């Protein structure tokens, strides 16, 4: 079946439809990873987005039971050059098309993903409609995707690793990737996952040794109503944040965020650890970034920069044990080179001994 993509720029693409047959709209973004489509499509930070894969062949090793980053993928649609419908891998249980259909994700293959990527690179903020009905193309009115965190955050507290001997971590869920939870569990932690709008008093009653702010979709400024509670929480425990969590820590301390000219989404984004001068390849997925000049008089200092565009990739508090990174040390998809940041954080939660800084 033929399907169509119309962009907010007016460009129209025709391709072969796969996945859910319902029309869908979303922000069009591109991911440059050569592998990792399963982790990408199930990363909740892609909620409300249409993902263009720049790597030409997608689906060739199928879909397995282990590599999901969430129970239910939250992205809207997938744009693929060459869709493999006969995957080959010993762990593969399904094709990408089957999984797209199962989870209500739209898909178009056989389209020029390079051209779409070029449009997104040029315009930055691009929205799209996927439909099988050619008649609808002319009437598409793009609408920004907003307020997505409540839809992907847990509704109730969840506990993992209850028998673990290591520190007890509260993971605030803005749409966490399973690999963040897994990294904490692998480090010997007990983890309590809590909803994004958790209060200071609720965290105190859980009595953790550390706090972790997860990744998540959307504009970080949409979480502004939570910043007051968040400040009290993070100033009471050793804290680490990733991606959206990093942006929120920066907003708590009066820094500003903005949209990147176009997002960083892929598995080989180089960042420099300013403490050591070492450069690491990282997994990334973000459309917003902390403004470098807004750090000037803040309580935070820069710890990592992006080697390509010099954007902010990490900060830490000048006196409190609070740090965060824009990239993904939990990897999946992508390299695990910065996994040492989990080790450092877990050690910090152990060394402190005291339950609370307050």
Ligand X SMILES: NC(=O)CC[C@H](N)C(=O)O
Q: Which residues are annotated as a binding site for L-glutamine?
A: 45, 216, 218, 244, 247, 285, 287-288
- Kindly tell me which of 69 and 235 has the beta carbon lying closer to ligand X: 69
In the complex, what is the shortest distance from the CB of residue 49 to ligand X, in angstroms, rounded to a whole number? 9
- Judged by CB under 6 A, does residue 244 bind ligand X? yes
Please count the helices (runs of H) and the strands (runs of E) in the chain. 9, 19
Sole window of 76-84, 193-201, 210-218, 297-305 interacting with ligand X (rule: CB under 6 A): 210-218
Contact with ligand X (CB under 6 A) among 243, 252, 315, 349: 243
Q: What are phi and psi of 311, to 5 degrees?
A: -75, 165
Could you tell me where the DSSP H helices lie in the chain?
Answer: 37-41, 96-102, 113-123, 149-152, 178-186, 200-206, 227-234, 244-252, 340-352
Query: Which pair of structure tokens corresponds to residue 318?
Result: 């000048």
- Kindly state the number of chain residues that form the binding site for ligand X, as judged by CB under 6 A: 11
Q: What amino acid positions are annotated as catalytic residues?
A: 243, 328, 330
Rounded to an integer, what distance in angstroms lies between the CA atom of residue 51 and that of residue 120?
Answer: 11
User: Of 168 and 265, which has the nearer Cβ to ligand X?
Assistant: 265
Q: How many CB atoms lie within 10 A of CB 171?
A: 24
Residue number with the smallest Cβ distance to ligand X: 243
Toward ligand X, which CB reaches closer, 4 or 327? 327
User: Would you call 201 exposed, middle or buried from its count of C-beta atoms within 10 A (0-12, 13-18, 19+)?
Assistant: exposed
- Applying CB under 6 A, which of residues 76, 272, 286, 316 lies at the interface with ligand X? 286
Stretch that binds ligand X, among 83-91, 110-118, 153-161, 281-289 (CB under 6 A): 281-289
Site string for ligand X, 50-89 (x = CB under 6 A): ----------------------------------------
Binding of residue 176 to ligand X (CB under 6 A)? no
Residue ranges at the known binding site:
45, 216, 218, 244, 247, 285, 287-288
DSSP string, 224-278: GGGHHHHHHHHTTS-EEEETHHHHHHHHHTT--EEEEEEEEEEEEEEEEETTT--
Give me the residues paired with residue 257 across strands: 290
Residue 25 sits in the site that holds ligand X (CB under 6 A): no
Among 25, 131, 215, 303, binds ligand X (CB under 6 A): 215
Cα(142)–Cα(129) distance, integer angstroms:
8
Number of other CB atoms surrounding residue 162 within 10 Å: 9
Q: Checking DSSP bridges between strand 168-173 and strand 190-195, what pairing results, if any? A: parallel
Segment interacting with ligand X, rule: CB under 6 A, options 10-18, 162-170, 197-205, 214-222? 214-222
Structure tokens at 143: 């609408």
128 is a contact residue toward ligand X (CB under 6 A) = no
Report the C-alpha gap between 99 and 3 in whole angstroms.
18
Which residue from 33, 142, 161, 287 is in contact with ligand X, where contact means CB under 6 A? 287
Least separation in angstroms between CB 146 and ligand X? 12
> CB neighbours (10 Å) of residue 39?
24
Considering beta carbons, is residue 142 or 218 the nearer one to ligand X? 218
Specify the stretch interacting with ligand X by CB under 6 A; choose among 184-192, 198-206, 212-220, 305-313: 212-220
Indicate the angle between helix axes 244-252 and 227-234, nearest 10 degrees: 90
Name the residues that contact ligand X, by CB under 6 A.
Answer: 45, 215-218, 243-244, 285-288
């Amino acid at each position: 079946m033929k399907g169509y993509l119309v962009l907010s720029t007016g460009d129209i693409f025709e391709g072969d439809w796969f996945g859910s047959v319902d029309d869908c709209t979303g922000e069009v973004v591109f991911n440059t990873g050569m592998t990792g489509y399963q982790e990408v499509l199930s990363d909740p930070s892609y909620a409300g987005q249409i993902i263009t894969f720049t790597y030409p062949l997608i689906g060739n090793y199928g879909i397995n039971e282990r590599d999901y980053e969430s129970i239910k993928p939250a992205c809207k649609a997938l744009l693929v050059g060459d869709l493999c419908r006969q995957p080959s891998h010993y762990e593969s249980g399904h094709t990408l098309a089957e999984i797209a259909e199962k989870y209500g994700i739209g898909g178009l293959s056989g389209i020029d993903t390079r051209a779409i990527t070029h449009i997104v690179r040029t315009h930055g903020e691009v929205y799209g409609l996927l439909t099988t009905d050619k008649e609808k193309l002319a009437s598409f009115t793009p609408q920004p995707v907003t307020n997505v965190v409540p839809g992907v955050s847990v509704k109730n507290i969840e506990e993992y690793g209850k028998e673990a001997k290591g520190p007890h971590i509260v993971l605030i869920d803005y749409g966490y990737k399973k690999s963040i939870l897994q990294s904490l569990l692998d480090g010997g932690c007990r983890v309590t996952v809590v909803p994004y709008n958790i209060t200071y008093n609720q965290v105190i009653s859980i009595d953790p040794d550390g706090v972790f702010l997860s990744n998540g979709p959307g504009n970080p400024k949409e979480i502004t109503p939570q910043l007051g509670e968040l400040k009290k929480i993070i100033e009471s425990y050793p804290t680490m944040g990733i991606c959206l969590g990093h942006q929120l820590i920066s907003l708590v301390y009066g820094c500003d965020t903005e949209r990147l000219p176009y997002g960083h989404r892929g598995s080989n984004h180089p960042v420099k650890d300013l403490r050591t001068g070492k450069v690491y390849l990282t997994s990334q997925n973000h459309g917003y970034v902390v403004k470098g000049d807004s750090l000037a008089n803040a309580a935070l200092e820069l710890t990592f920069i992006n080697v390509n565009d010099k954007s902010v990739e990490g900060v830490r508090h000048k006196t409190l044990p609070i740090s965060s990174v824009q990239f993904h040390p939990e990897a999946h998809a992508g390299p695990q080179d910065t996994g040492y940041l989990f080790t450092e954080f877990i050690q910090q939660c152990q060394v402190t001994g005291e339950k609370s800084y307050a």
